[in-house]
Structure 1
Amino acid sequence: MSDIMYPVSFGKLMNHIMTEYKMYNRIYNVNKIHRINHEQRLPMFGKSIENPVGPAAGPNTQLAQNIVASYVAGARCIELKTVQIMYGEELGIPRPCIYSVDEAYNVEWSSEYSCDEAADEYIKAWFALKLISKELGLGDPDGFLFIMSVGYNLAGIKSPMVDKFINTMRSASQSPMWDTCKQWCLDHVDEFEHIDVDYINSISDELCQAITLSTMHGCPAEEIESICSYLISEKGLHLYLKCNPTLLGPKRIRELLDNAGFEYIDFEDHQFEVDLQFDKAVPMLERLIALGEKHNKIFGVKLTNTFPVQIHNNELPGEQMYMSGKSLLPVTIGVAELLSAQFGERLPMSYSGGAVKQNIKAIFDCGIWPVTVCTILLQGEGYNTFKGLADEVESTDYNAALKVHKDLIAKLAKDISENKIFKKSDAMKKKREAMPSFPGTRSSDYHCRVTCGSCVRVCPNRCNEVVTVNDAKLIVHVDQSCNECGNCACHCVEPCQPYKDRITFFHNAEALADSTNDGFYITGTSCGYRFKGEEAVCDIDALPEELKGVVHAFCKEHVYYVS
């Protein structure tokens, strides 16, 4: 157990994808594989995309395998996790950093990787999607979209580090990782049925044509406008400006939260005083719309950012956390209603704020897209949720959504305010009363009473696996990509903290030494381990009997981790 994520090489990524698919007809535990079976396309940034659904910039787009899992399940608009000049320990992200029992909260923000490392992840994901879309018949290899996200001030965005990232996303062949991925494809072309050398050589190195801009809460209007102007005029990018919920004002947000059953959510009025005010936002947005038209670039808004609220019950470490999901839904739709009343169809809008299967079609019909999600990927079926979302939007007429419909937005806002399925349920209120804090219960037994697989489904980084030992199922935690976000613990019915309490597979000896978890690593036919107070290196068959069964099962059932 360590909060440091170690990148997976492109070769191992592809081996995992193709081997797991051949063994189980699934990819990174996504078994609801989505294949495009319609001819509709949406024009965006000069591309033609198969649907407007995808993961929002966040924990589900930080690593290459996260992006692969999203695409396989049906996502076609991938908003890459925000990068900035700070990364790693500089970010000061406490652990755990995600609490998603119903509505979600987090205390994490931008990518934990440096700009160069993040670019490597996105290039690996790009190549992987180009290969599997064609090889496995999932869709048009050009039918998906990456949108980069950067923050948080003009000086940082102009820094050599972030500027290089932006340039790499525009022309990735300048990156050594591009050469690494391409060479792997060429070296392994004979392993594919529908991929040839000409196709590999034809893969475009332009990963992104557009950017989502994130600014810090409290960023002055002048700074926001300067950043937008720079990205449109000098960097030549289409741009969506992520707006804060605070545009609605404290009174309106309080009304919306209370009406939806979230009376207990507490926020400070000070946040509204320092954030962008609506009266300043309107003329700024007018100027940026005109600037986009001048440079033949799309300028729009992303609705919305998360909302800062107070920590009162140790949901997460610290004093303030960022709210998303179901409780953000009425607020985000409220911002959409406010802006559409002012700008009509002149201001394109994209969305992230509590979209689910029951409302995503209505949001799309309003002309608000892409529609990206995060919270629902951290719950329930995890990435498999995308299948239902994609089916919903693909069943509607794309042509009707090509412009913003303010009347439909107003109607949707009313429907959301009245429909009980979009409100805090009585059952979830009782659950919150029973467990208001982050679950701190630990387990000394590595077996689950019932192996429900919830931790496998909800992990954004794909860090838990099920194995069968002597007809009993148990969880093995995979350390390499885990950043101790804690989301698996939020949904464990034991309860326990799977990322700490389950036998762990480590990718090398150093990772084992850096952890306190019981677990093992494999080198050839030998195995290093820590188990029930004992540490040693030995042949696999000489392992303690209990652990030996787990190791053999893991190597057999999940060979893609050790081959």
Structure 2
Amino acid sequence: MSDIMYPVSFGKLMNHIMTEYSLYNRIYNVKKIHRTTHNKSLSLFGRKLENPLGPAAGPNTQLAQNIVASYVGGARCIELKTVQIMYGEELGIPRPCINSVDEAYNVEWSAEYRCDKAAEEYIKAWFAIHLIAKEYNLGDPHGFMFIMSVGYNLAGIQSELVDDFIETMRHGKQSPMWNECKQWALDNLHKFENIDIDYINSISDEICVAITLSTMHGCPAEEIESICTYLMKDKGLNLYLKCNPTLLGPKTVRQLLDDAGFKYIEFDEHQFDVDLKFDAAIPMLERLLAVGADAGVVFGVKLTNTFPVAIHNHELPGEQMYMSGKSLLPLTVGVAQLLSSHFGSRLPISYSGGAVKQNIKSIFECGIWPITVCTILLQGEGYDTFKSLADAVETGDYELAKSVQKDKIKQLVEDIGNNKLFKKSEVMQKKRDAHPSFPDTRAQDYQCRVLCGACVRVCPNRTNEILTIGNKRIIIHIDESCNECGNCACHCIEPCQPYKDRLTYFHNELALDDSTNDGFYVLGTLCGYRFKGVAGVCDIDALPEELKGVVQAFIKEHAYYVS
């Protein structure tokens, strides 16, 4: 199985979206499609937002289809995955790299595509959302935004590669991908009912006017300040600086984790020695607020970064992993209280760290937004979770949320600390005690004994599909967009590793040859395959009978992959 993701063309992306929607009333397996029906809105960086919700920079914003799936579910403020000068194999990301059974852990930390290729994914997503928002009446085509994310040091950010990315995100027309998307839309006007030439020509290429800065754990304060100053003063960008939970200090972090039931999580106190400390952060943030005001841009903080903790039970490969989700929640609101107690409403706060349906409205009404999520999208209903989150946050008081409310943040901290819903449950503790390590059981057969569909729902890259063959159903894995993150294995009830154990659709012969999975590719009436020890290329009708039924059903049900 190859861990390389192959980007699809804009035409193939749109064909997939429009065909799947017409056949099944879903888009990239998002069934709970969110349509904005209220007339409330927020203003951020001079732009309109129908709601302040979105996916955090991470696995849910790396590919165009991931971003489209987020918007369809209800996201309106999308934080693009962090880019930097390193990419691909140079990153050295081990596989698997995500474990999200309850609280989540990861060892992946940056976009796997080179900056220019990442920009192409974001342009495709930007153009596609503008088309489907209007065509399917999902919301105001001007009611959503992208925020780019870059890292991790000043030299890298000032490099030609990253600087070109930033400028492309500001003015998409400088990329050939912009013209490819626009030309496809013009050539396929006949496929739309609500889109005309004037609308296509009106789509703005100003994709991003803001940036989230992510620096490495241990980055010196002077370096952080220099990067922020450069991005605001020299590049004219609105900026959120991602802060670390270590601002709380080791004793407070230890106490908060223990109180929430995460006593087993271990961290190195040396991290607190090298990270930015609160006493140094306050004057630095004051100076950066002044820089932002002088530059005429917004400066704020993003709370919080992930938290490095020890690997003891083979949860993931290596010795250190990054913690997020439920266990990060008390730390993140704790940092919000700490900063708001000093700055009041003067320091805008963006949020990511354990937001769920039961607390997202309260976070929003504290004046903390945009609110981005990741862990919850890797669990349960996957992107369909956005619907309940959007419904919850859209019932919030948009007027109250216009400024940071430090008294409400204090109350939020107390409420979260006293609510057992936000602590490690006994059920999940027992599950962890029984199976602390990453699930590595391999299935003996490509067919599920119980087809739960979890691997379809939780995959951030949309790389699993359900296929009906007669009176039975199976899972088909889609090689094209899989990077072997392993999240599907965490939630398989068999258990198995769907990205290795399920019959796989490959987009061409080379992809099949690069894998050990049984599977097939389709080329007109021909099919190349590897199945139960036999490999070959033949007419579809000449395939082994069992495999022939799979291929014929796949072409019928999921034609958008092969057309």
**Distance in 2 (alpha carbons) for counterparts of 1:396 and 1:442:** 45
Equivalent in the alignment of 1:303: 303
TM alignment of 1:93-492, pairs within 5 A: 93-492=93-492
**In structure 1, how many angstroms separate the alpha carbons of the residues matched to 2:443 and 2:541?**
27
How far off is 1:470 after superposition?
2.4
Task: State the AA in 1 paired with 2:520.
Answer: F
1:469, CA displacement in angstroms? Answer: 1.2
SS in 2 for 1:492: coil
What amino acid maps onto 2:556 in structure 1? K
Question: Per-residue CA shift, 1:477-497, capped at 9, x if unaligned?
Answer: 000000000000000001000
Secondary structure of the 2:6 match is coil
Q: Post-superposition shift, 1:37? A: 0.4
Query: Per-residue displacement from partner, 1:290-347 (whole Å, max 9, x unpaired)?
Result: 1111111100000000000000000000000000000000000000000000110000
Matches within 5 A, 1:493-508: 493-508=493-508
Partner SS, residue 520 of structure 1: strand
Letter in 1 for 2:435: M
What's the offset of the Cα at 1:2? 1.0
SS in 2 for 1:480: helix
Once the 2 structures are TM-superposed, how far is the Cα of residue 218 of structure 1 from its aligned partner? Answer: 0.5
Query: How large is the Cα RMSD of the aligned pairs?
Result: 0.4
Deviation string 1:15-73 (CA, Å, 9 cap, x unpaired) is 00000000000000000000000000100011011000000000000000000000000
- State the alpha-carbon separation in 2 of the partners of residues 337 and 312 from structure 1: 32
Give how far 1:190 is off.
1.5
Aligned to 2:548, what secondary structure does the other structure show? helix
CA distance in 2, matches of 1:386, 1:43: 21
| CA deviation after TM superposition for structure 1 residue 396, in Å | 1.6
Secondary structure (helix, strand or coil) at the match of 1:148 reads strand
Q: Map Cα deviations across residues 172-220 of structure 1 (whole Å, 9 max, x no partner).
A: 0010000110100110011100000011011000000000000000100
Where 1:398 maps in the other structure, the secondary structure is coil
Partner amino acid, structure 2, of 1:477: H
Matches of 1:544 and 1:368, distance apart in 2: 58
Equivalent position SS for 2:72: helix
Letter in 2 for 1:537: V
SS in 2 for 1:208: coil
Distance 1:93 1:483 in 2: 10
Residue 241 of structure 1 aligns to a residue whose secondary structure is strand
The more displaced of 464-473 and 56-65 is 464-473
In 2: Cα distance, 1:354 partner to 1:554 partner: 37
Q: Distance in 2 between matches of 1:328 and 1:336?
A: 12
Equivalent residue for 2:44? 44
The AA in structure 2 aligned to 1:556 is K
Amino acid at match of 2:489: A
> Displaced runs of 4+ in structure 1, greater than 3 A?
none
Deviations 1:435-483 (A, max 9, x none): 1000010012011111110000000000000001121111000000000
Q: Which runs of 5+ in 2 are unaligned?
A: none
CA distance in 1, matches of 2:239, 2:552: 50
Q: For residue 312 of structure 1, what is the amino acid of its counterpart?
A: H
Letter of the 1:58 counterpart: G
Q: Work out the CA distance in 1 between the residues paired with 2:379 and 2:272.
A: 30
Q: Separation in 2 of the partners of 1:165 and 1:66?
A: 20
* Alpha-carbon distance in 2 for matches of 1:402, 1:296: 19
Give the C-alpha shift of residue 397 in structure 1: 1.8
What 5-or-longer segments of structure 1 have no aligned partner? none
Indicate the percent of aligned positions where both proteins have the same amino acid. Answer: 75
SS in 2 for 1:65: helix
Report the counterpart of residue 23 of structure 1 in structure 2.
23
Cα distance in structure 2, aligned partners of 1:251 and 1:546: 60
Once the two structures are superposed, residues 202-255 of structure 1 have per-residue CA deviations (whole angstroms, 9 ceiling, x without a partner) of: 100000000000000010000000000000000000000000010001100000
Displacement of 1:162: 0.2
Alpha-carbon distance in 2 for matches of 1:387, 1:440: 32
CA distance in 1 between counterparts of 2:550 and 2:493 reads 22
Which residue of 1 is the match for residue 529 of structure 2?
529
- The C-alpha deviation readout for 1:503-558, integer Å capped at 9, x for no partner, is 00000000000000000000000000000111100011111111111111111111
TM-score (norm 2): 1.00
CA distance in 1 between partners of 2:452 and 2:226 (Å): 50
